[in-house]
Amino acid sequence: MKYFCFALFLVLFIIKLQRCDGLTTRGQGLKGRVQRDRRNIRPNIILILTDDQDVELGSMQVMNKTRKIMEQGGASFTNAFVSTPMCCPSRSSMLTGKYVHNHNTYTNNENCSSPSWQAQHEPRSFAVYLNNTGYRTAFFGKYLNEYNGSYIPPGWREWVGLIKNSRFYNYTVCRNGYKEKHGSDYAKDYFTDLITNDSINYFRISKRMYPHRPVMMVISHAAPHGPEDSAPQFSEHFPNASQHITPSYNYAPNMDKHWIMQYTGPMRPINMEFTNFLHRKRLQTLLSVDDSVEKVYEMLVETGELDNTYVIYTADHGYHIGQFGLVKGKSMPYDFDIRVPFFVRGPNIEPGSIHPHMILNIDLAPTILDIAGLDTPPDMDGKSILKLLEPEKTENRFRSNRKPKVWRDTILVERGKFLRKKEESSNNNKQQSNNLPKYERVKELCQQAKYQTACEQPGQKWQCIEDTSGKLRIHKCKGSLKVSAKRKRTRSLRSRGYSSKEKECDCGKTDYKPARGERRNQRQLSQTNQRYKPRFVHTRPTRSLSVEFEGQVYDINLEEEAQPAYETRNISKRHYDLEVEEDLEEMLADDNAVGQPSSVKVTHKCYILANDTVHCEREIYQSSRAWRNHKSYIALEIEALQDKIKNLREVRGHLKRRRPDECDCSKSYFNKEKAPRNKERKKSNHRLHPFKEAVQEVDGKVQNFNESRRKKKERKQKKRLKKGDDCSLPGLTCFTHDNDHWQTAPFWNLGSFCACTSANNNTYWCLRTINDTHNILFCEFATGFLEYFDMNNDPYQLTNAVHTVDREVLNELHLQLMELRSCRGHRQCNPRSRGLETGNKDGGSYDPHRGEQLWNGWEG
């Protein structure tokens, strides 16, 4: 029994030791895994970007692989928008997290990848921040429209950037500083496959060489942007695609919308056939992107990085194909151009979740920084969407007052060349008046206290007066002008003396000039004595006249009798030999002699006669070689003169801008001191109509901008003339499509046509609001036109309902729009939803009772 107990104790002791050993080994293994995870705790980030991909026209319906991976495997945002529906401005906002009015890239040309962009905004992109914190950053694909490949943007360790705009074949990329040309071989050169393979290889190599360092990649596809060349295996897909035929398709003209929508009429049959063809080609290019997303997903699965990688899929803006009669394009403020697809998958993101929050392209940069564990810089206008992706926590059933997630319900949409200011007197873009009539605005303006008194307030310039018919009129205050006139009179009397302190004009010795009253009396006296004439004033006739012709000076005696028109003996004896005399006789024998003094010598061989006919030497008419040489000589002369005229115009414009102060010596001497003071007084006391007080003078920057714009127009016009392009109308953006546009099947063979898609005055600022009670779009155009759409009742923006909106609501929307147009930083640019606990303290939410100040409206 004793041995049995001892043996049992020994067995139990051994078993306990084994358990302790197992626990120790397991603990050591757990500790090692935690340490290894901590070294790679930051996730990888992959941004997949498409070009010109829409949501409203059904482009995502054909991308089944992408929808399965991103939509079913991640989160989708149904209200994703862009702040500017144009390529370069939207991409600049994605890189910097800023609105267009803060990074100043207004269009695809102006400031797009310019030196100022490279110096001020490019060093503050999200790539720079991630690269500084240890991320292996890489960019593959289209960067900015005007990127020329001369440099590598800061923040990117691996760089394969497309030079200039989108292409699928025959393009050039900048690969880590070296330009690499590609041809038309699909296996080696198709752009979508090239950047997909390069990005996958880079990710694999990075994880093999640096397994504990996170990777951030951008895969920027050219599809479905033009020229819409698809892969050969997809060239026969979607022969009957019709998703683009929405209720707004060919809905034209639209007389209740802004100018280009009024100008655009219904499409012709060839245009409608083109829209069907174009939509099919766009969908075919997206199938290659669909395969690319699947390849990236399979690579993440193979490397074991899927659960530690955030993948974001979106586009730079939407697109329209036939909507409102516009054949193709973007840049409109409507949902088909500003709404984009947006999907996110990654750690802690619930698969298949749908989020109705409004997100923008400016939220991409803050979100990527937040994923990397970095704070949002104060100059970025967007916000991170990570908190929207957090799964809902299990709440206590006894706790009913759960706070909702605070997020914006209004965004700013802006587009156009904001630096350009039209002069008040221009007749090209007149103010369109779809707002209140003038008498209503006068009535509203007269409600202000400063216009109700009869010119009694100090400094009052305008007053409201009711005429005999009962209508209110705005008149200048004339009583105050009399007082000011008296003051001006006394000042002018005091300033008649000479003053050495002020700068005077150097007019030489000027005689004394009488005062204004004396000069008036003298004029009256001269008018009464007009019947008395002086005796000898210019009564002697002219005796001779000197005339210069072809380098020779001829004296003409006017007192002699009229000589024959052509006397060859006098001229030939003095200036010509016999051979010249014979030639001259032959010339004079011709019907149109070229030696007569009344002709004008244009070239060394051609003249313009008195009867406006042209006559050249006989050699030009008889020899084709001489005719050709002289014609080429004239063309060169015309070109040289045109260049000289252009230079003279530039100098004239420079002189206008650098005009010195006026110095008119013809006026009386006391005006020398008076003129500068009057000029300053006019600047300080300008008396503009209240409707025109907002109009300001064009400053130097705007003048330089207009000058560069004029030169750019001249260059474009020369290119059009060389190409023989007649598809250009003033103020419109037009394009020509022909049979040679697409280089891959299916081919277009219905001939060429011209279509206009936008206008130079298509500059606007819009509010897009979505919340529990509102789903609206409110736009103010640079021409003064207003548009308002209620998408709850009109989801396709068919009818402009601005006339049905109360004036107070329009004033409130205008004030809110002005706040967003000038916002800087995410604290100002993200108004919160109304009805939350924050109330209206954020200063940007919609509330029709918030402000007391009313908007005076656009002039028109």
Show which residues are catalytic. Answer: 87
- Strand-pairing partners, residue 411, are 768
Identify the burial level of 805 via C-beta atoms within 10 angstroms of its C-beta, where 0-12 means exposed, 13-18 middle and 19 or more buried: middle
Torsion of the alpha carbons at 562, 565, 567 and 572, rounded to the nearest 10: 130
Start-to-end CA distance of the chain, whole Å, equals 115
What would the two tokens of residue 531 be? Answer: 């019947």
Separation between Cα atoms, residue 786 and residue 779, nearest integer Å: 6
216 within 8 A of 316, measured Cβ to Cβ? no
| Nearest residue to 137 via CA among 368, 337, 291, 315 | 368
CA–CA–CA angle 183, 189, 191 (5° rounding): 120
Query: Which CA distances in Å does 849 have to 265, 444, 714, 820, 846?
Result: 41, 18, 51, 19, 9
Rg (alpha carbons) of the chain, rounded to whole number: 39
Amino acid present at 685 = N
As given in the structure block, the two tokens for residue 90 are: 């939207």
Could you tell me the two tokens for 490? Answer: 């006394």
310: nearest Cα among 508, 44, 27: 44
**The dihedral sign for the CA sequence 531, 537, 540, 543:** negative
Residue among 416, 307, 309, 411 at smallest CA distance from 77: 411
Q: What is the DSSP string of 294-359?
A: HHHHHHHHHHT-GGGEEEEEEES---BSSBTT--SB---SSHHHHB--EEEE-TT--TTEEEEEEE
